[in-house]
Structure 1
Amino acid sequence: MSFPASQTPDWLSRDQLQPVPSAAACDWLFDERSLTRRLTELSDDGFSVTPLREGWLELRDDECAALDVPPGSLGWVREVYLRGNGQPWVFARSVAAREALADSGLDLQQLGSRSLGELLFSDRAFARGALQVCHYPANWLPVDSQHSQLWARRSCFRRERLAVLVAEVFLPAFWHAAAQAN
Protein backbone atom coordinates (compact mmCIF):
# COMPACT_ATOMS: atom_id res chain seq x y z
CA MET A 1 0.00 0.00 0.00
CA SER A 2 1.40 3.36 -0.98
CA PHE A 3 0.86 6.53 1.04
CA PRO A 4 0.91 9.85 -0.88
CA ALA A 5 3.41 12.37 0.46
CA SER A 6 0.58 14.89 0.96
CA GLN A 7 -0.84 12.59 3.66
CA THR A 8 2.42 12.28 5.54
CA PRO A 9 2.33 14.34 8.72
CA ASP A 10 5.18 16.48 9.96
CA TRP A 11 6.62 14.74 12.99
CA LEU A 12 7.84 17.52 15.28
CA SER A 13 9.94 17.82 18.41
CA ARG A 14 8.57 19.67 21.43
CA ASP A 15 10.60 22.77 20.47
CA GLN A 16 9.03 22.84 16.99
CA LEU A 17 5.38 22.73 18.14
CA GLN A 18 3.30 25.84 17.57
CA PRO A 19 0.96 26.12 19.38
CA VAL A 20 2.12 23.90 22.21
CA PRO A 21 -0.52 21.42 23.45
CA SER A 22 -1.89 21.69 26.98
CA ALA A 23 0.37 20.79 29.90
CA ALA A 24 -1.68 17.62 30.47
CA ALA A 25 -1.24 16.57 26.84
CA CYS A 26 2.49 17.33 26.91
CA ASP A 27 2.82 15.24 30.07
CA TRP A 28 1.70 12.18 28.10
CA LEU A 29 3.19 13.04 24.72
CA PHE A 30 6.72 13.75 25.93
CA ASP A 31 7.05 11.42 28.92
CA GLU A 32 10.03 9.15 28.25
CA ARG A 33 8.98 6.45 30.70
CA SER A 34 7.19 3.29 29.57
CA LEU A 35 3.69 4.09 28.27
CA THR A 36 2.66 0.53 29.18
CA ARG A 37 3.52 1.17 32.82
CA ARG A 38 1.72 4.51 32.88
CA LEU A 39 -1.40 3.03 31.28
CA THR A 40 -1.29 0.13 33.75
CA GLU A 41 -1.25 2.65 36.62
CA LEU A 42 -4.01 4.82 35.10
CA SER A 43 -6.24 1.77 34.60
CA ASP A 44 -5.58 0.33 38.10
CA ASP A 45 -4.02 -2.77 36.51
CA GLY A 46 -6.78 -3.00 33.89
CA PHE A 47 -4.24 -2.78 31.04
CA SER A 48 -4.28 -5.18 28.09
CA VAL A 49 -3.00 -5.41 24.52
CA THR A 50 -5.18 -6.43 21.59
CA PRO A 51 -3.23 -7.30 18.41
CA LEU A 52 -4.96 -5.99 15.28
CA ARG A 53 -2.52 -6.77 12.49
CA GLU A 54 1.06 -7.92 12.12
CA GLY A 55 3.18 -9.13 9.30
CA TRP A 56 5.69 -8.24 6.59
CA LEU A 57 4.46 -5.12 4.78
CA GLU A 58 5.84 -2.22 2.79
CA LEU A 59 6.73 0.55 5.22
CA ARG A 60 5.40 4.08 4.82
CA ASP A 61 7.86 6.70 3.54
CA ASP A 62 8.01 8.49 6.91
CA GLU A 63 8.84 5.17 8.59
CA CYS A 64 11.56 4.37 6.06
CA ALA A 65 13.12 7.80 6.65
CA ALA A 66 13.07 7.34 10.43
CA LEU A 67 14.63 3.88 10.13
CA ASP A 68 17.25 5.02 7.59
CA VAL A 69 16.16 2.50 4.95
CA PRO A 70 15.22 3.07 1.28
CA PRO A 71 11.63 4.09 0.47
CA GLY A 72 9.43 1.07 -0.21
CA SER A 73 11.41 -1.22 2.12
CA LEU A 74 9.68 -4.21 3.65
CA GLY A 75 9.39 -4.42 7.39
CA TRP A 76 7.63 -6.11 10.25
CA VAL A 77 4.52 -4.09 11.10
CA ARG A 78 2.61 -4.65 14.33
CA GLU A 79 -0.58 -2.73 15.07
CA VAL A 80 -2.34 -3.08 18.42
CA TYR A 81 -4.77 -1.40 20.74
CA LEU A 82 -3.45 -0.62 24.19
CA ARG A 83 -6.56 -0.92 26.35
CA GLY A 84 -7.50 0.45 29.72
CA ASN A 85 -10.31 -1.46 31.43
CA GLY A 86 -11.39 -2.91 28.10
CA GLN A 87 -11.50 0.44 26.26
CA PRO A 88 -9.12 1.13 23.37
CA TRP A 89 -7.01 3.99 24.74
CA VAL A 90 -4.05 4.00 22.37
CA PHE A 91 -3.52 2.72 18.84
CA ALA A 92 0.12 1.65 18.49
CA ARG A 93 2.02 0.89 15.28
CA SER A 94 5.52 -0.54 15.59
CA VAL A 95 7.78 -1.23 12.63
CA ALA A 96 11.25 -2.63 12.01
CA ALA A 97 13.13 -3.06 8.73
CA ARG A 98 13.24 -6.65 7.53
CA GLU A 99 17.00 -7.09 7.12
CA ALA A 100 17.94 -5.50 10.45
CA LEU A 101 15.26 -7.47 12.29
CA ALA A 102 16.32 -10.76 10.69
CA ASP A 103 19.95 -10.16 11.77
CA SER A 104 18.99 -9.12 15.34
CA GLY A 105 17.72 -12.39 16.79
CA LEU A 106 14.63 -10.55 18.11
CA ASP A 107 11.41 -12.40 17.24
CA LEU A 108 8.56 -9.89 17.25
CA GLN A 109 6.19 -12.52 15.85
CA GLN A 110 6.06 -14.19 19.25
CA LEU A 111 4.72 -11.18 21.20
CA GLY A 112 1.03 -12.02 20.84
CA SER A 113 -0.89 -9.98 23.41
CA ARG A 114 2.25 -8.97 25.31
CA SER A 115 3.41 -5.35 25.25
CA LEU A 116 6.29 -4.49 22.92
CA GLY A 117 7.03 -1.55 25.23
CA GLU A 118 7.79 -3.87 28.12
CA LEU A 119 10.24 -5.79 25.93
CA LEU A 120 11.99 -2.62 24.74
CA PHE A 121 12.20 -1.08 28.21
CA SER A 122 13.42 -4.31 29.86
CA ASP A 123 16.32 -4.76 27.41
CA ARG A 124 18.94 -2.20 28.46
CA ALA A 125 20.72 -2.63 25.12
CA PHE A 126 17.95 -0.56 23.47
CA ALA A 127 18.46 3.20 23.45
CA ARG A 128 15.40 5.37 22.90
CA GLY A 129 15.63 8.23 20.44
CA ALA A 130 13.90 11.60 20.70
CA LEU A 131 10.13 11.77 20.93
CA GLN A 132 8.29 13.42 18.05
CA VAL A 133 4.59 14.26 17.82
CA CYS A 134 1.99 15.03 15.17
CA HIS A 135 -1.72 14.98 14.47
CA TYR A 136 -2.05 11.46 13.10
CA PRO A 137 -3.88 11.06 9.78
CA ALA A 138 -7.35 9.62 10.45
CA ASN A 139 -7.11 7.29 7.44
CA TRP A 140 -4.04 5.60 8.96
CA LEU A 141 -6.14 4.47 11.93
CA PRO A 142 -8.39 1.40 12.15
CA VAL A 143 -11.85 2.15 10.75
CA ASP A 144 -13.49 2.13 14.20
CA SER A 145 -11.02 4.74 15.51
CA GLN A 146 -10.81 7.17 12.60
CA HIS A 147 -10.91 10.53 14.34
CA SER A 148 -9.11 13.58 13.01
CA GLN A 149 -6.60 15.70 14.92
CA LEU A 150 -5.60 12.94 17.36
CA TRP A 151 -2.22 13.46 18.98
CA ALA A 152 0.39 10.82 18.30
CA ARG A 153 3.96 10.39 19.38
CA ARG A 154 6.77 8.24 18.08
CA SER A 155 10.32 7.34 18.93
CA CYS A 156 12.91 4.96 17.60
CA PHE A 157 14.49 2.33 19.84
CA ARG A 158 17.93 1.22 18.62
CA ARG A 159 20.11 -1.78 19.50
CA GLU A 160 23.18 -2.14 17.31
CA ARG A 161 21.85 -2.28 13.68
CA LEU A 162 18.24 -2.87 14.74
CA ALA A 163 15.83 0.06 14.93
CA VAL A 164 12.23 -0.34 16.09
CA LEU A 165 10.00 2.66 15.41
CA VAL A 166 7.04 2.87 17.80
CA ALA A 167 4.14 5.26 17.13
CA GLU A 168 1.36 5.69 19.70
CA VAL A 169 -1.91 7.49 18.94
CA PHE A 170 -3.93 8.70 21.93
CA LEU A 171 -7.61 7.96 21.34
CA PRO A 172 -10.56 9.99 22.76
CA ALA A 173 -11.38 7.37 25.44
CA PHE A 174 -7.83 7.74 26.78
CA TRP A 175 -8.10 11.51 27.20
CA HIS A 176 -11.43 11.06 28.97
CA ALA A 177 -9.90 8.56 31.40
CA ALA A 178 -6.83 10.74 31.98
CA ALA A 179 -9.04 13.77 32.72
CA GLN A 180 -11.15 11.72 35.18
CA ALA A 181 -7.99 10.63 37.03
CA ASN A 182 -6.87 14.22 37.70
Structure 2
Amino acid sequence: MKVFSYPHKARDRWLNTPVGSAAYKPWLTDGGSLTRRLQLRCQHFSVRPVRVQEARPHLSEARLLRCLSRRKAWLRDVHLQCEGRAVVFAHSVLPHAVMQGAWRGLVTLGNRSLGSTLFSDPTIRRVPLQYKKLGPHHFLYRQAAAGLDGLPKVLWARRSVFTLKCSAILVTEIFLPAVLHLEMQQGDT
Protein backbone atom coordinates (compact mmCIF):
# COMPACT_ATOMS: atom_id res chain seq x y z
CA MET A 1 0.00 0.00 0.00
CA LYS A 2 1.31 3.42 -0.97
CA VAL A 3 1.64 5.89 1.92
CA PHE A 4 0.25 9.37 1.27
CA SER A 5 2.64 12.30 1.61
CA TYR A 6 2.13 16.00 1.03
CA PRO A 7 3.88 17.43 -2.06
CA HIS A 8 7.12 19.27 -1.25
CA LYS A 9 6.84 22.08 -3.77
CA ALA A 10 3.37 23.46 -3.24
CA ARG A 11 2.70 27.12 -4.00
CA ASP A 12 -0.06 27.22 -1.39
CA ARG A 13 2.32 26.72 1.54
CA TRP A 14 0.93 25.14 4.69
CA LEU A 15 2.81 24.66 7.97
CA ASN A 16 3.48 21.51 9.98
CA THR A 17 3.00 23.45 13.24
CA PRO A 18 0.60 26.37 13.88
CA VAL A 19 3.22 28.96 14.86
CA GLY A 20 1.61 32.04 16.40
CA SER A 21 -1.89 30.59 16.63
CA ALA A 22 -2.33 31.60 20.30
CA ALA A 23 -5.89 30.91 21.50
CA TYR A 24 -6.70 28.80 18.43
CA LYS A 25 -3.88 26.31 19.06
CA PRO A 26 -5.90 23.82 21.18
CA TRP A 27 -8.53 23.70 18.43
CA LEU A 28 -6.00 23.42 15.62
CA THR A 29 -3.81 20.71 17.08
CA ASP A 30 -6.44 18.34 18.49
CA GLY A 31 -6.11 15.20 16.36
CA GLY A 32 -9.48 13.75 17.30
CA SER A 33 -12.87 14.37 15.77
CA LEU A 34 -13.68 18.08 15.65
CA THR A 35 -17.36 17.21 15.48
CA ARG A 36 -17.11 15.29 18.74
CA ARG A 37 -15.18 18.10 20.43
CA LEU A 38 -17.83 20.62 19.40
CA GLN A 39 -20.66 18.34 20.52
CA LEU A 40 -19.10 18.18 23.99
CA ARG A 41 -19.05 21.98 24.21
CA CYS A 42 -22.53 22.94 23.07
CA GLN A 43 -26.03 21.80 23.79
CA HIS A 44 -27.23 22.10 20.19
CA PHE A 45 -24.66 21.10 17.57
CA SER A 46 -25.70 21.19 13.92
CA VAL A 47 -24.27 21.03 10.42
CA ARG A 48 -25.59 23.57 7.92
CA PRO A 49 -24.72 22.77 4.29
CA VAL A 50 -23.54 25.84 2.39
CA ARG A 51 -22.58 24.22 -0.92
CA VAL A 52 -22.45 20.70 -2.29
CA GLN A 53 -21.66 20.60 -5.98
CA GLU A 54 -19.58 19.12 -8.72
CA ALA A 55 -16.82 21.56 -9.61
CA ARG A 56 -13.12 21.79 -10.24
CA PRO A 57 -11.14 21.97 -7.01
CA HIS A 58 -8.66 24.78 -6.53
CA LEU A 59 -5.36 24.02 -8.27
CA SER A 60 -3.52 23.58 -4.94
CA GLU A 61 -6.15 21.06 -3.81
CA ALA A 62 -5.99 19.15 -7.09
CA ARG A 63 -2.20 18.93 -6.78
CA LEU A 64 -2.42 17.78 -3.20
CA LEU A 65 -4.84 14.99 -4.06
CA ARG A 66 -2.98 14.26 -7.29
CA CYS A 67 -6.12 14.87 -9.37
CA LEU A 68 -4.66 15.09 -12.83
CA SER A 69 -5.88 17.94 -15.03
CA ARG A 70 -8.10 19.24 -12.23
CA ARG A 71 -11.02 17.01 -13.07
CA LYS A 72 -14.29 17.83 -11.42
CA ALA A 73 -14.79 16.59 -7.90
CA TRP A 74 -17.52 16.88 -5.31
CA LEU A 75 -16.96 19.99 -3.19
CA ARG A 76 -18.80 20.15 0.12
CA ASP A 77 -18.87 23.29 2.25
CA VAL A 78 -20.68 23.38 5.59
CA HIS A 79 -20.88 25.46 8.73
CA LEU A 80 -20.46 23.55 11.96
CA GLN A 81 -22.71 25.36 14.40
CA CYS A 82 -23.18 25.56 18.14
CA GLU A 83 -26.47 26.98 19.37
CA GLY A 84 -27.19 28.07 15.77
CA ARG A 85 -23.97 30.11 15.47
CA ALA A 86 -21.28 29.19 12.91
CA VAL A 87 -18.04 28.27 14.68
CA VAL A 88 -16.21 26.36 11.92
CA PHE A 89 -16.37 26.44 8.14
CA ALA A 90 -15.50 22.99 6.73
CA HIS A 91 -14.49 22.49 3.10
CA SER A 92 -14.11 18.99 1.66
CA VAL A 93 -12.84 17.80 -1.72
CA LEU A 94 -14.08 14.38 -2.77
CA PRO A 95 -12.57 13.30 -6.12
CA HIS A 96 -14.90 11.26 -8.35
CA ALA A 97 -12.40 8.40 -8.42
CA VAL A 98 -12.92 7.77 -4.70
CA MET A 99 -16.71 8.00 -4.68
CA GLN A 100 -17.27 4.27 -4.53
CA GLY A 101 -17.25 1.59 -1.89
CA ALA A 102 -16.91 2.97 1.64
CA TRP A 103 -16.73 6.59 0.39
CA ARG A 104 -19.89 6.32 -1.76
CA GLY A 105 -22.34 7.95 0.66
CA LEU A 106 -20.21 10.97 1.53
CA VAL A 107 -21.83 13.26 -1.04
CA THR A 108 -25.33 12.64 0.31
CA LEU A 109 -24.59 13.45 3.96
CA GLY A 110 -26.83 16.52 3.95
CA ASN A 111 -26.78 17.99 7.45
CA ARG A 112 -24.83 15.08 8.92
CA SER A 113 -21.20 15.48 9.90
CA LEU A 114 -18.46 14.17 7.61
CA GLY A 115 -16.16 13.89 10.63
CA SER A 116 -18.53 11.50 12.40
CA THR A 117 -18.43 9.25 9.36
CA LEU A 118 -14.66 9.40 8.94
CA PHE A 119 -13.83 8.76 12.59
CA SER A 120 -16.29 5.86 12.88
CA ASP A 121 -14.40 3.72 10.33
CA PRO A 122 -11.15 2.28 11.76
CA THR A 123 -9.81 1.52 8.25
CA ILE A 124 -9.70 5.22 7.37
CA ARG A 125 -6.34 6.83 8.13
CA ARG A 126 -5.61 10.50 8.67
CA VAL A 127 -2.45 12.09 7.32
CA PRO A 128 -0.87 14.55 9.83
CA LEU A 129 -2.51 17.95 10.04
CA GLN A 130 -1.19 21.05 8.29
CA TYR A 131 -1.94 24.65 9.27
CA LYS A 132 -2.28 28.06 7.65
CA LYS A 133 -3.26 31.61 8.49
CA LEU A 134 -5.70 32.67 5.78
CA GLY A 135 -6.06 36.29 4.71
CA PRO A 136 -8.86 37.86 2.67
CA HIS A 137 -6.95 37.14 -0.55
CA HIS A 138 -7.12 33.36 -0.03
CA PHE A 139 -10.00 31.54 -1.74
CA LEU A 140 -10.84 29.59 1.44
CA TYR A 141 -11.06 32.78 3.52
CA ARG A 142 -13.48 34.24 0.99
CA GLN A 143 -15.61 31.08 1.04
CA ALA A 144 -15.63 30.97 4.85
CA ALA A 145 -16.48 34.69 5.10
CA ALA A 146 -19.41 34.60 2.66
CA GLY A 147 -22.52 35.67 4.51
CA LEU A 148 -20.71 36.31 7.80
CA ASP A 149 -20.03 39.73 9.30
CA GLY A 150 -17.22 41.06 11.44
CA LEU A 151 -14.51 38.52 10.70
CA PRO A 152 -10.90 39.35 11.59
CA LYS A 153 -8.25 39.96 8.90
CA VAL A 154 -6.91 36.43 9.31
CA LEU A 155 -8.56 33.09 10.01
CA TRP A 156 -6.71 29.99 11.16
CA ALA A 157 -7.26 26.80 9.19
CA ARG A 158 -6.09 23.23 9.34
CA ARG A 159 -6.29 20.56 6.70
CA SER A 160 -5.70 16.88 6.44
CA VAL A 161 -6.08 14.11 3.96
CA PHE A 162 -8.05 11.02 4.90
CA THR A 163 -7.07 7.82 3.12
CA LEU A 164 -8.79 4.51 2.57
CA LYS A 165 -6.78 1.91 0.70
CA CYS A 166 -5.39 3.83 -2.30
CA SER A 167 -7.89 6.70 -2.34
CA ALA A 168 -7.91 10.04 -0.54
CA ILE A 169 -10.16 12.99 0.31
CA LEU A 170 -9.19 16.42 1.62
CA VAL A 171 -10.85 18.12 4.58
CA THR A 172 -10.05 21.73 5.51
CA GLU A 173 -11.50 23.33 8.64
CA ILE A 174 -11.47 27.10 9.10
CA PHE A 175 -11.96 28.25 12.67
CA LEU A 176 -14.28 31.22 13.07
CA PRO A 177 -13.87 33.57 16.07
CA ALA A 178 -17.03 32.23 17.74
CA VAL A 179 -15.22 28.93 18.44
CA LEU A 180 -13.09 30.72 21.05
CA HIS A 181 -16.20 31.55 23.10
CA LEU A 182 -16.86 27.82 23.44
CA GLU A 183 -13.40 27.33 24.91
CA MET A 184 -13.92 30.18 27.39
CA GLN A 185 -17.35 28.93 28.45
CA GLN A 186 -16.56 25.24 28.78
CA GLY A 187 -12.81 25.09 29.40
CA ASP A 188 -10.45 22.77 27.63
CA THR A 189 -11.04 19.08 28.29
TM-score bracket for the superposition, by shorter chain length = 0.7 to 0.9
Q: Compare 156-165 and 101-110 and name the one that shifted more.
A: 101-110
Q: Distance in 1 between matches of 2:143 and 2:69?
A: 18
Supply the RMSD in Å over aligned alpha carbons: 1.9
What SS does structure 2 have at the residue aligned with 1:117? Answer: helix
Kept in 2: contact 1:60–1:71 (CA 8 A): no
Q: 2:14 is matched with which residue: 11, 14, 28?
A: 11
> What does the per-residue CA deviation read over 1:42-80, in whole Å, with 9 as the maximum and x for residues that have no partner?
11x311100111021101112112212224221111100
Q: Distance in 1 between matches of 2:99 and 2:166?
A: 9
Q: 1:81 is matched with which residue: 79, 85, 92?
A: 79
One-letter code aligned to 2:144: L
The answer to whether 1:176 aligns with 2:174 is: no
One-letter code aligned to 2:105: D
Kept in 1: contact 2:21–2:156 (CA 8 A): no
Which residue in the other structure is 2:33 paired with? Answer: 34
Which residue in the other structure is 1:109 paired with? Answer: 107
Kept in 2: contact 1:67–1:96 (CA 8 A): no
Which residue in the other structure is 1:21 paired with? Answer: 21
One-letter code aligned to 1:21: S
Q: Distance in 2 between matches of 1:141 and 1:36?
A: 17
Which residue in the other structure is 1:3 paired with? Answer: none
Query: Unmatched 5+ residue regions in structure 2?
Result: 1-10
Structure 1 runs of 4+ with >6 Å offset: none
Q: Distance in 1 between matches of 2:113 and 2:119?
A: 10
Query: Unmatched 5+ residue regions in structure 1?
Result: 1-7
1:161 is displaced (CA, Å) by 2.5
The answer to whether 1:127 aligns with 2:125 is: yes
- Please list, as runs of the form range in 1=range in 2, the aligned pairs for 1:51-90 lying within 5 A after superposition: 51-90=49-88
1:35 is displaced (CA, Å) by 0.2
What SS does structure 2 have at the residue aligned with 1:53? Answer: strand
1:104 is displaced (CA, Å) by 5.5
Q: Distance in 2 between matches of 1:135 and 1:33?
A: 21
One-letter code aligned to 2:24: A
One-letter code aligned to 1:81: H
Q: Distance in 2 between matches of 1:171 and 1:105?
A: 28
Q: Distance in 1 between matches of 2:148 and 2:128?
A: 26
One-letter code aligned to 1:115: S
- The percent of aligned pairs where both chains have the same amino acid is 35
Kept in 1: contact 2:158–2:174 (CA 8 A): yes
What SS does structure 2 have at the residue aligned with 1:175? Answer: helix
